[in-house]
Amino acid sequence: MIDPSRHAVLWLLIFFVLATAATRTATRYIRHRADQAEAYLKENAEPGMFRNIAIAGIHVHHQVWGILMLLFSGLMLITYLPERGLWLDVLAAIFGTGAALTLDEFAMWLHLEDVYWQEEGRQSISALLVAVAITAALVLGANPLDIVPGSDGVPGVVVAVGIVINFGFVVLTILKGKLLTGLIGVFVPGLAVVGAVRVAKPGSWWATKRYKTDGWLDRRSHARFNDAYDERWNAVRDFIGGRPYPREQMRATVRSQMQAARRRRQELPLERAQARVAREMRRHERLTAAQVRRSSTRARSRRRR
C-alpha cells in the first residue's frame, strides 16, 4: 500500500513512463519514415500527427516543450503551494511529462549537439532509467538510509552520521565509474555500499589511480566490464529507445535526405501549378453545373406559363 503522502509522486512516475513511451514511439516512427527519405519528405510536406516540428525553419526538439512544462509546474508549485489533492497531482503529472521530454534528449544537452540517434544517444536512455528507479523508490517511501529523524527513538545525530556515511559510499561508487548506481544509491540504502565495495570500471578515476596496469585488480575489472557486459546493457537501451545509427549510415541517410529534398523542391512548383489547374477546373465545373441548373429552372418556369 502506497503512503497517501506519496500519491503525487506516483502520478509523476505514471506520466513520466507514459510520456517516455509515447515520445520514443513517435521518434522511432519518424526515424522509420526518415530512412525512406522520399516518402518521409513527401509526407512531411502535408499535415500529420507524427512529424518533426519546425518554427521559422528551426527544428524545435521536444526537450523545449519539456523544459517549458517543468518551468510552469515548478512555478505553480512554488507560487500556490497546493495541498495534497487534485491540483498537486495534476502539477505532478505535468512535471513528470516535462521531465520525460527533457531527459529523453539528455545526451543532446550533455554533448551540445544532435546525437539522438548516435552511440552517445544511449546516455538518454540511461538517464530515463535512473529517473524511473529513483522515482519508484520515492513512491515506495524511500529516504536516505530509510530513516526519519526522531522516528523509533533514533537520535538525529545517528541519522546525520548515517546519511554522511551513505553519501561517502555514493561518492566512492561514482569515483569507480558507476554513476547510475551511485545516483540511485542516494535513495536506495545499501546499493551504494555494493557499488563501492565491488571492483571499479576500467578507465574510471579509481581504476586509473589505484589499480596497477595489468595487476590482478585491473584484470578483474576488464573481465567484469567486458564487451559482453556492454552488449547486454546496450541491448536493453536499444529495446527501449531504438538502435543508434552507425556513423557511416547516418551520413548516408543524411545525404539521401538532402538529395530527396532537392528533388522535392524541384517537383513542388509543378505540383502546385497542377493543383491550381485542378482547382480552376473544379471551380469551372461547379459554375457550369450551377448555370445548367438555373437554365433548367427557367425553362420549366416558361413551360408552366
pLDDT tens, position by position, 163-182? 889 889 999 999 999 988 99
Name the residue among 40, 23, 26, 8 with its Cα closest to residue 259.
Answer: 40
Where are the chain's structural domains? 1-141, 142-198, 264-305
Q: Quick one: DSSP state of residue 35?
A: H
pLDDT at res. 39: 58
Q: How confident is the model at residue 67 (pLDDT cuts 50, 70, 90)?
A: very high
Beta bridge partners of 59: 54
CB 89 within 8 A of CB 73: no
- Report whether pLDDT(250) > 60: no
pLDDT band at 44 (very low <50, low <70, confident <90, very high): low
Contact call for residues 225 and 200 (beta carbons, < 8 A): no
- The pLDDT-based confidence of 47 (bands split at 50, 70, 90) is low
Query: Cα angle at 114 between 180 and 97, to 5 degrees?
Result: 60
Q: How many residues does the chain have?
A: 305
Strand partners, 58: 55
Count of CB atoms situated within 10 Å of the CB of 58: 8
Distance CA(248)–CA(256), nearest Å, equals: 12
Pick from 204, 219, 208: which is nearest to 171 by CA? 204
For residue 284 the three cell numbers come to 469551372
Measured CA to CA, the distance from residue 126 to residue 24 in angstroms comes to 14
CB 97 within 8 A of CB 108: no
Average per-residue pLDDT in the chain?
A: 83
Mean pLDDT, to the nearest integer, of 272-295?
A: 80
